[in-house]
Chains A and B, each alone.
Chain A
Amino acid sequence: MTTTETARDVSAAARLRKTSWYQEPRWQRLAALIGVAVVGAQVTGVEGNNRDIFYALKENFTSTGFAVWLAVCVGIWVVREFAQAPVGSAWQSVKESVKAPAGEVQAVWRKQFWLRVGILSGVLVFLIVLPLLVSRHWQQVLVDQIAIYVLLAIGLNVVVGWAGMLDLGFIAFFAIGAYSAAFWTGSLPVDPPMVLNNFAVIPIAVITCLVAGVLLGAPTLRLRGDYLAIVTLGFHEIVYLGAKNWQSFTGGTSGARVERFSIDLGFWSYSWGLDPRPYYWLLLGFIIVLLVLFIRLEHSRVGRAWTAIREDEVAAASNGVDTVRFKLLAFAIGASTSGIAGVIYASKLAYINSEAFIVLFSILVLSYVIFGGMGSLPGVLIGTAVLVWLPEALRDSVPAQDRYMYLGALLVIMMIYRPQGLWPSRRRQRELHMAEEGTAGADALGGTAGGKQV
Chain B
Amino acid sequence: MRFSFGKALLPIYTVLALVFLLIPIGYTFVFSFNASDKSNIVWRGFTFENWTTVCNAQGVCDSFVNSIIIGVVATALATAIGTAMAIALVRYRFRFRGPVTLLLFLPMATPEVVMGAGLASQFLTAGVEKGMVTIIIAHTLFCLSFVVVTVKARVSSLDPALEEAGRDLYGSPAQVFWRITFPLLLPGIMAAALLSFALSFDDFIITYFNSGSVYTFPKFVYISAARGIPAQANVIASAVFFLALAIVIVSQVFASRKAKKLAAPIS
**Do A and B actually bind?**
no
Chain B interfacial positions (CB closer than 8 Å to A): none
